[in-house]
């Protein structure tokens, strides 16, 4: 699934998680799961479903008197989008340090760690010595910026 950039709020993300986990479902089925978890009223869940449909994150198919909703965006692509949009906010030169901060504080399985080591070793072969700064003047204090 390739997708356009879709901004999903934390509340809408709760709805997407239900649909990603369960596949095609009615708003009632989504509601039943979320009511237990979040205490949301039916109208609240319906509002979020409507917004996600408008954003083309959910697709709706009419079946008799009700709609069946399914995910129009993949979980993996959406997570990738979230991470990318976070790292787009900082200087390219700081991404390694911030990624390392995240790795240090998160629990990873041995399998996850081996995957990362393999990815990093293969990237190391073609990695530049330094990454150019792409920041606007006045928004960064890296060495590149101070030379301007
Ligand atoms: Zn910078």
Q: Please give the distance, rounded to the nearest whole angstrom, from the Cα atom of residue 86 to the centre of ligand 1.
A: 15
pLDDT of residue 57: 97
Listed residue (86, 59, 75, 81) closest to 1, CA to CA: 75
pLDDT of residue 143: 65
pLDDT of residue 146: 61
Domain residue ranges of the chain, discontinuous segments joined by + = 1-89, 90-148
Q: Which residue has the tokens 């790292």?
A: 87
Q: Please give the distance, rounded to the nearest whole angstrom, from the Cα atom of residue 58 to the centre of ligand 1.
A: 37
Q: Please give the distance, rounded to the nearest whole angstrom, from the Cα atom of residue 144 to the centre of ligand 1.
A: 7
Q: Please give the distance, rounded to the nearest whole angstrom, from the Cα atom of residue 75 to the centre of ligand 1.
A: 30
Chain segment 48-93, per-residue pLDDT in tens: 999 999 999 999 999 999 999 999 999 999 999 999 999 999 999 9
CATH classification (class only), 1-89 = mainly alpha
Q: Please give the distance, rounded to the nearest whole angstrom, from the Cα atom of residue 137 to the centre of ligand 1.
A: 8
Chain segment 81-97, per-residue pLDDT in tens: 999 999 999 999 999 99
| Cα(135)–Cα(132) distance, integer angstroms | 9
Q: Give the Cβ contact number of residue 18 at 10 Å.
A: 19
């Amino acid at each position: 699934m390739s997708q356009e950039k879709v901004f999903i709020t934390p509340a809408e993300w709760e709805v997407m998680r239900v649909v990603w986990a369960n596949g095609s479902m009615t708003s009632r089925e989504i509601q039943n799961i979320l009511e237990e978890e979040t205490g949301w009223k039916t109208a609240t869940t319906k509002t979020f479903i409507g917004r996600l449909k408008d954003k083309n994150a959910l697709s709706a198919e009419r079946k008799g008197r009700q709609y069946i909703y399914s995910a129009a965006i993949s979980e993996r692509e959406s997570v990738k989008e979230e991470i990318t949009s976070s790292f787009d906010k900082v200087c390219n030169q700081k991404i390694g340090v911030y990624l390392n901060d995240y790795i240090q504080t998160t629990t990873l399985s041995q399998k996850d760690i081996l995957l990362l080591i393999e990815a990093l070793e293969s990237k190391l072969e073609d990695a530049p010595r330094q990454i150019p700064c792409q920041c606007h003047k006045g928004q960064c204090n890296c060495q590149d910026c101070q030379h301007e």
